[in-house]
Amino acid sequence: MSSDSLHNLTAHEAANLLGARQTSSEELTRAYLDRIQAVEDEVKAYVTVLDAGAMEQARQADRQLAAGEGGPLTGVPMQLKDNLTTSGVVTTCSSRMLKDFVPPYDATVVDRLRGAGAVFLGKGNMDEFAMGSSTENSAFFATHNPWGLDKVPGGSSGGPAAAVAASEATYSLGSDTGGSIRQPAALCGVVGLKPTYGLVSRYGLIAFASSLDQIGPMTKDVTDSALVLNAIAGHDPMDSTSAPQQATDYTEALVPDVKGMRLGVPKEYFVEGMDHRVTAAVEAAIASLEDMGASVDREVSLPTTPYALAVYYIIAPSEASANLARYDGVKFGYRAEDTQDIWEAMEHTRQQGFGAEVKRRIMLGTYALSAGYYDAYYLRAQKVRTLISQEFEQVFERYDALLAPTSPSVAFGLGEKMDDPMQMYLSDVCTIPANIAGIPGISVPCGFVDGLPVGLQVLGPHFGEQALFRVAYAYEQAHEWHSMRPNL
């Protein structure tokens, strides 16, 4: 394969070439760094590019491979969302507050990928502190969708989604609090997996909403998603919410067969105002799975689901207001200068260090938790959260997985919704329920509208990732959507 097309490889294709000694990690990494240099001015997927560090990791991986060591991700170049702490590398959360913050430790997922021999190309741009659905809330610059450079890539993992779509990385790790992996994956035409809450360690993930955040892979195809989940999943004593799950080889679920599977289609996900062309693409994908032998029930109901958006925008800001209290200008991060006393310093630090959306959510959360409003908002939201979770549990007694749209629309224009927070929040209406309940979800490409990708979302029961992979892989193998690349 010519060096100028190496950047188009999936992770498993790259691993096969590396294993057969048909290329080297050094050559592969150089191809990706060249690709970043060629298209990054248009896409803006990276906050930090680690040229020298990546080449050194690649040389180390080549030594491992030459000695007959390593695994399926050894020597494969990838990207990390910039809210995953990386030892010795600036980690900003795309916020002025952490513009110069260099962590002294690796997140557990970063440590596991280091152990697997991954090559880190750099850190991906995102909505500030993962708060947003378009990556326009980054304190540094907006990321552009590779399929339409005047469109958003989705958010908050817009940098990772755009990097994978533009072949600026074989894969990336994102985080998903209310859809922040799946929604940008859908808008950029890649595969995005939000694992079950607790399956992947959150240690070293800079917190937004601790009961909702989950780390997962963003990849070019479903096979890569399973390979990356193999590497990062598993119990971690450093994370008190980490589940004591047995190690699983998720690639065993990659069979192109859904015969006998029971799939449900919850009608509440086809929301009012959804682009009818998106509906048509998702309906065609569902019909395709039915043609392949799955039993599909289109009359499933999750009646509490419509309340998930309201529940999310009470619980997530409430947890954010607590988590972001640590940014006070005293211990680390940005600090306002020329202030009279510690209280003024703290006030000015937060005024200047946080962007508008982060301030909005801190105020929403602080209000919801304040005396006199806690019972009316936060406590009630937690009760509805329990109802949503119970409904999913009951439905999954009858179905192996659920099928739904990932996003109600394709990628919208840059700047189109920035002045209308409510419209922006509605972008996550299809993805938020999975975070509320802690269940896994995956988005796979299922078509195009006006040249922009559409995503099919597959939801499963707690620790039901195998069912998701089976459905997603079978659908992917029957279609060509995942193999299409934007023309940059």
Residue 180 annotated to the active site? yes
Q: Which of 172, 180, 225, 409 is catalytic?
A: 180
Give the SS3 label for residue 261: coil
Residue 133 per-residue DSSP state:
S
Please name which of 320, 295, 88 lies closest in space to residue 213, comparing C-alpha atoms. 320
The helix/strand/coil state of 56 is helix
Q: Express the helix, strand and coil content of the chain in percent, nearest 5 each.
A: 45, 15, 40
Calpha distance 481→443 (Å, rounded) = 12
- Sign for the CA dihedral angle at 160, 165, 169, 170 comes to positive
Cα dihedral 240, 243, 245, 247 in deg (nearest 10) = -60
Which one of 24, 156, 172, 443 is the catalytic residue? 156
**SS3 category, 405:** strand
For the packed helices 356-369 and 308-323, what is the interaxial angle rounded to 10 degrees? 100
Do 349 and 335 meet the contact criterion of CB atoms below 8 Å apart?
yes
Any catalytic annotation for residue 157? no
Phi, psi of 72, rounded to the nearest 5 degrees: -70, -15
Rounded to whole angstroms, the Cα distance separating 29 from 211 reads 36
3-state secondary structure of 279: helix
* Structure tokens, 219: 């990849």
For residue 325, what are the CA distances in angstroms to 171, 178, 337, 344, 363?
33, 21, 19, 15, 12
Query: What distance in Å separates the CA atoms of residue 451 and residue 444, rounded to the nearest whole number?
Result: 16
d(CA 328, CA 342): 9
Known catalytic membership, residue 427: no
Q: Which one from 24, 25, 81, 134 is the annotated catalytic residue?
A: 81
Of 406, 194, 183, 97, the residue nearest 279 (C-alpha): 406
Consecutive H or E run containing 183: helix 182-188
User: What is the spatial order of strands in the sheet that 191-194 belongs to?
Assistant: 46-49, 119-124, 77-81, 171-176, 214-219, 191-194, 441-449, 452-459, 401-405, 262-266, 295-300
Which residues have a catalytic role annotated? 81, 156, 180
